[in-house]
Structures are given as structure tokens and as C-alpha cells.
Structure 1
Amino acid sequence: MISRPIFRARDKYFIAFIILLCFLTVLYLYLNYLQQEKSVHLSGERCLSELTSVKYQLNVVTEYKNRIDKLLTETQKANELDKERFKEIMESCAAMKHQASICQNQFEDLQGECKKVREDYNELLKEMKKT
């Protein structure tokens, strides 16, 4: 009887190939896992960096908004003061116009009285000349 080896040479190569293939697969999966972990870590750092940048930009915009709000409030106060002064000036002008009208009427009344006194004076002079 011829004894045949349990594993032939071809089978040994095939088993070695399968073991090598399994080893390479495990190695590939491990390296892929490390790469993904590194990628996640870098992505997290980038995200944190961008978050910090956005936070800084938000602070700048908020500060700018606050300055604009303050300027707007000051401008509105100045505008209200100007409106109040304008209103007072207009009321003063109306009062002056009314006072000027009263003065004009008084002047015309005085002119009328003056004319009447002059006429009376002239009549008295004529009467004195006649007598």
C-alpha cells in the first residue's frame, strides 16, 4: 500500500494562501480603522476650529450690532430734540406773527387817532385864524 500524504503540496500552498489572505484582510481592516479614526480626529479638530472661528465672527458681528444700535439710539434722541426745538421755534414764530399782527393793528389805530388829532388840530388852527 502506498501511503499518501494527508496534505498534498498543492493543498499546503492553498492553505498558506488562505492564511496569507486572512492575514492581509485583517491587516487591511486594521489600517482602514486607524485611518478612519485619524480622519475622525482631524475632522473633529477642524470642526472645533471652524466653531471657534464662527464664535469669533459672531462676537464681532454682535459688537458691531451693539455699536449700530447705540448710534441709532443717539441719532433718534438727537432727532427728537431737533423736532422739539423746531416745534418751539414754529410756535415762537406763530406767536411773533400774532404779536406783529396786534402791533400792526395798534399802529393803524394810532395812525387813525393821530390823523383824527391832526384834523382836530387843523380845525382848531383854522378857527383860531378866523377869530
Structure 2
Amino acid sequence: MFTRYLPKSKNKLFALFMFITLTVSALYLYLNNLQEKSTVQSSGERCLTELSSLKYQLNEVTQYKDRIDKLLTETQKAHELDKERFKDIMESCVAMKQQSTICQSQFEDLQSECKKVRDDYNKLKKSLNI
């Protein structure tokens, strides 16, 4: 009698084993799918967060660059103005040097004339005293 039920038991046991195996496999696949979806969602959220952070950093860098460009432009304008003032001052100095040279030459000429007049005066004075 026992041998008669043994094959049916094996079939039932095999069917039960297959049922459990299929159920565990289906459960595993379902949980794995959920985990992948969760990973994809968290990756997507992380990407969006990082993208937002990068956009903010890019805006900050752009604003910093704009401030530096503005400062550079202002500095260049100031440099050009200083350069023009320096050029004007140098031209003025050259003109003053030329004027000084002319004045010096005129002074020497006047001293020479004064000396001649003095010599003539002294000669005249001597000639009148004799």
C-alpha cells in the first residue's frame, strides 16, 4: 500500500516544489523590478538635484565674471585717462623746457647787452673825467 501512494506523493511534492519555486521566482523578480524603479527614481532625483546645483553655481560664476569684466573695463578706462593725463603733462614739461631754454638764452643775451652798455658807460665816464 505504501508503494502505491509513493508516486502520487512524489508528484504532489514535485508540484509543491515547483509552485514554491515559481512563487519565489515571481516574488524575486517583482522585488527586483521595484528596486530598479526605486534606483532609477533616486538616480533621476539626484541628477535633478545636481543639475539644479550646477545651474546655481553657473549663475554665481557668471555673475562673478560679469563683475570682473565690469571692473576690468572701468580699470582700462581709468588707465586710458591716466595715460592721456600723463601725455599732456609730458607735453607740458617739454614745452616748459623749451620755454626755459628760450628764457635762458634771452637772459644771457640781456646780460651780454647789459655788460656792453656798462662797458660803454664806463668808457664814456672815463672819457668825460679825463
Q: TM-score category by the smaller chain?
A: over 0.9
Partner of 1:14 in structure 2? 14
Deviation at 1:11, TM superposition (A): 1.7
Q: 1:86 aligns to what SS in structure 2?
A: helix
Task: Name 2:95's counterpart in structure 1.
Answer: 95
Which residue does the alignment assign to 1:117?
117
Aligned amino acid, residue 19 of structure 1: F
Any idea what SS the aligned residue of 1:8 has? helix
Is residue 76 of structure 1 aligned with residue 83 of structure 2? Answer: no
In structure 1, what is the equivalent of residue 60 of structure 2?
60
Q: Which residue of 2 aligns with 1:47?
A: 47
TM-score (norm 2): 0.94
Counting matched residue pairs gives 127
| % identical equivalent positions | 63
Distance apart, 1:15 and its partner CA: 1.2
The runs of at least 4 aligned residues of structure 1 exceeding 6 Å deviation read: none
CA distance in 2, matches of 1:75, 1:33: 62
Q: For residue 45 of structure 2, what is the amino acid of its counterpart?
A: E
Q: Which runs of 5+ in 1 are unaligned?
A: none
Question: In the alignment, does 2:27 pair up with 1:27?
Answer: yes
Shift of 1:8: 1.4
- The separation in 1 between residues aligned to 2:26 and 2:14, in whole angstroms, is 18
- The structure carrying a bigger helix percent of its residues is 2
In structure 1, give the amino acid aligned to 2:118: R
Q: Distance in 2 between matches of 1:95 and 1:69?
A: 39
Q: How far apart are the structure 2 equivalents of 1:73 and 1:44?
A: 43
CA distance in 2, matches of 1:129, 1:10: 171
CA apart distance, 1:10: 1.4
> 2:122 corresponds to which letter in structure 1?
N
Aligned to 1:106: 106
